[in-house]
Chain A
Amino acid sequence: MTVQVSHIFRLSALAASFFIGFNLLSPPVLLARPLRIGEINPLTGKLAKHGQEIHEGILFAVEEVNKRGGILGREVQLVSRDDQSLPEVAINQTEDLVYGVGVAGLTGGYVDSLVGPISEIAARHRVPYVASASLQRNLTIGRRNPYFFRVSRLDGIVEPLCGFLTSQLRPKNAAVLFSATPGSSEFASEMRTCLKQAGVPVSTFDKFRPGTSDFSSFLMKLRMERADVLISGGFFPDHLLLARQMKDQKLSLRAYLGPWGVAYPSFIEEMGSASHGLFGMCAWNPGITLPGTEQASEAFVNGFRTRFAKQPNTTTMHGYSSARALLAAMEKAMGKHGGVNGDALCRELRSLDLLLPMERLVFDDNGDPRYYRQVVVQIQEGRMVTVYPPDRATGSIVTESP
């Protein structure tokens, strides 16, 4: 026993002296305490696909900063948490990040049912939260939360889509289908208002539960009511099913439009030729970038491909943009005050002006992005072609129905 104890003691002393010596010889950056930011995303569960895409965008942004030497010599540490696509888990994980880990700021989040609870905890503990994918209006306008910011907004989808429908497509009879989620419901009611103001009758206005797998009766209804345009506020898997079942039922529409989930390379890959002619929307995609950011966009695509061995998409870019905003604010706060706290970070976020591939990011008084605006794309022979707004169009509409 004595031999064992003295052996352990000798080993510990050796380890301690090695550790001290190593630290004395290392550059000072390694001694500095890392800056920690927290990220909550649905990495498992029903929303895992998009949660993982956002996570990769955030991770890429953090690694990019660290490769440049961190923020004023301090490494940025990303602490990731999985909310399992469940609001109650999102709350627990956020509290752990705020209380347990003590992060300087929060980012990530997909869909408002998960982003909403995170934003409330952020406000309670005065930790800034830059959400990656959030749309619901009352998170910013109805209830002022000075610690909540986001890189997307509903108007950035509704306005271009409304413009496209009323000026280009001009439907005779539209149908609106939407998912029972806060953002999708709000989107649907905005679209109905827009169409009615343009004099377009909306014959069908239906809500469905996420996870619904049979749309055959709904499609029959569209046929009976002779709808020529379907605006579908569902998500990626809903579009897969709807497009498939439309093809099966040989339902011919002038246009099928899905703002979330159609403009993805993986959607085109899954649907094959059946995706031809469908309309989607995106804020960014490889080859679809804000004018003036072509080089930055290409650098992002190349860097991302090298790091993750896959192509980024619009959701990845939302994650990247939200992390870039938080990191830029941290850098400014560190430069001014030599440290970061919630209020200082919020001040810097409010005065931020960043030109990113997805948008020029300036937050308004409510924490919404002032210049966020998506484009309408149509899938044509396996490629995404921008068809609206006219100043960003790269091709014209093809009329074959999906």
Chain B
Amino acid sequence: MMLQFLVNATTLGAFYALVAIGFSLILGVTHAFNLAHGEMLLLSGYLAYFLGKHFGAPLLLILPVSMLTMLFAALCLERLLRRVPEPHELNTLVITFGLVLLLQNAMLMAFSANYRIVAPETGPGQTPSSTLFLSETQVLILGLSLAATGAVFLLLKRSFLGKALRATIQDGEAARLAGINVKHMHLLAFGLGGLLVGTAGPLYARTAYLHPFGGMEATLIAVILTIFAGVGRIRGLLIGGWILGLVESGTVLLLGTNWRELASSLILIALLLLRPEGLLPKWAKTRP
């Protein structure tokens, strides 16, 4: 039973991390507070839902289509936000809030107010033992989340491009003076963010329900985890996601479902008071 609890909690945490990485990367590099992150995730989820339901497309095909579509959407968003005057952070907040309303109503017209979900697999799921139940979705979430987090981590840590991105996260102006093309870094951050949203969206359609007004929950997860981890801290996001998953799942198991939000809020407040720089220790501050 303990093993089952750990599997459920880490799957939940890994999914939280996958939802948050794109948001955190964009915020870190461009300082754009993308409130429409959840709506983009929903769009990707709807795309996966319709491709699966009406064309019978397998997830292996849905994933690249969704990633490319969201890459295009994120690059369009970057073009839009590039024109936003100073103060950039505040203005991007206002613009993306407008975008939230626009996307919500567009989705309402396009997909109706019906709740959608990718129906569960009817065949036998992955069951390593008689006491541990591991569904296909859980395997996918764990696998894709670890792969995406690992890939972004390696990109930031091991490549020259990653170094440039990290420099832009730390200080955009200094990076510009050092000869880094900050505009290209912004484009790259949005591009990566779009690919990550395109990866998370089809999984979102399998774990949560799709509704035109359901995006704010996902944005909140991304914001909370970014505060947990510190902006642009990829390892911190994964660890933060797992802590949040463990706390939420443990609270439900021990105290009841209604204590879940209270427990995660308390953790968040405590963290903001005790470790305002994020979860990871200070020596890891310059690392992704």
Contacts and interface: CB of A to CB of B under 8 A. Distances in A.
Interface of A: 44-46, 48-49, 51-52, 85, 177, 180, 206-209, 211-218, 220-221, 224, 236-237, 240-241, 243-244, 247-250, 266, 270-274
A237 B258 contact: no
A177 B133 contact: no
A224 B120 CA distance: 23
Contacts, number: 116
A237 B133 contact: no
Contacts of A273: 119, 122
B214 A46 contact: yes
A48 B249 contact: no
Given A208-B257, A241-B208, 13 more contacts: A44-B105, A48-B108, A48-B113, A51-B113, A177-B257, A213-B207, A216-B11, A224-B1, A240-B115, A248-B125, A249-B133, A250-B133, A272-B122
A214 B8 CA distance: 9
6 contacts: A51-B113, A52-B113, A217-B8, A217-B250, A248-B138, A273-B119
A209 B133 CA distance: 26
B64 interface: no
A216 B11 CA distance: 10
B253 A48 contact: no
B91 interface: no
Contact of A207 (B209, B248, B257): B257
Nearest to B208: A213
Contacts of B4: 220
B213 A209 contact: no
Contacts of A271: 117, 119-120
Given A216-B12, A249-B133, A250-B133, A44 B249 contact: no
B240 to A, nearest CB: 16
B181 interface: no
B287 interface: no
Nearest to B217: A211
A237 B211 contact: yes
B61 to A, nearest CB: 20
A209 B120 contact: no
B120 A248 contact: yes
Contacts of A211: 214, 217
A312 to B, nearest CB: 15
B170 interface: no
Nearest to A177: B257
Contact of A48 (B9, B12, B213, B250): B213
Given A46-B213, A206-B258, A248-B120, A214 B133 contact: no
B13 to A, nearest CB: 10
A249 B127 CA distance: 9
B127 A250 contact: yes
B69 interface: no
Given A237-B211, A248-B137, A270-B119, A49 B113 contact: yes
Interface string B1-24: 100110011011000000000000
A247 B214 CA distance: 23
A224 B119 CA distance: 26
B121 to A, nearest CB: 8
A224 B252 CA distance: 13
Interface of B: 1, 4-5, 8-9, 11-12, 104-105, 108, 112-117, 119-122, 125, 127, 133, 135, 137-138, 207-209, 211-214, 217, 248-250, 252-253, 256-258, 260-261
Contacts of B104: 44
Given A240-B117, A244-B120, A270-B115, A214 B248 contact: yes
Closest 10 CB pairs between A and B?
Answer: A48-B113, A248-B135, A217-B252, A247-B120, A213-B208, A207-B258, A208-B257, A216-B8, A49-B113, A217-B249
Contacts of A48: 108, 113, 211-213
Interface centre among B120, B138, B211 (most CB of A within 10 A): B120
A207 B256 contact: yes
A274 B122 contact: yes
A401 to B, nearest CB: 13
Given A46-B213, A211-B217, A240-B209, A206 B256 contact: yes
A271 B209 CA distance: 11
Contact of B213 (A45, A52, A250, A270): A45
Nearest to A219: B8
Contacts of A51: 113
A244 B12 CA distance: 15
A274 B117 CA distance: 12
A45 B258 CA distance: 23
A259 B21 CA distance: 38
Contacts of A220: 1, 4-5, 8, 253
A212 B249 CA distance: 12
B253 A221 contact: yes
A49 B256 CA distance: 29
A237 B209 contact: yes
A162 to B, nearest CB: 23
A209 B125 contact: no
Nearest to A44: B108
A241 B137 CA distance: 13
Interface centre among B125, B127, B257, B260 (most CB of A within 10 A): B257
A241 B112 CA distance: 19
Contacts of B209: 213, 237, 240-241
A48 B105 CA distance: 11
Given A209-B261, A217-B5, A240-B115, A250 B125 contact: yes
A313 to B, nearest CB: 11
A241 B207 CA distance: 7
A177 B252 CA distance: 12
Contacts of B133: 248-250
Contacts of B253: 217, 220-221
A220 to B, nearest CB: 6
A250 B126 CA distance: 10
Interface centre among A216, A247, A249, A272 (most CB of B within 10 A): A216
Nearest to A208: B257
Nearest to A213: B208
A271 B121 CA distance: 10
B15 to A, nearest CB: 9
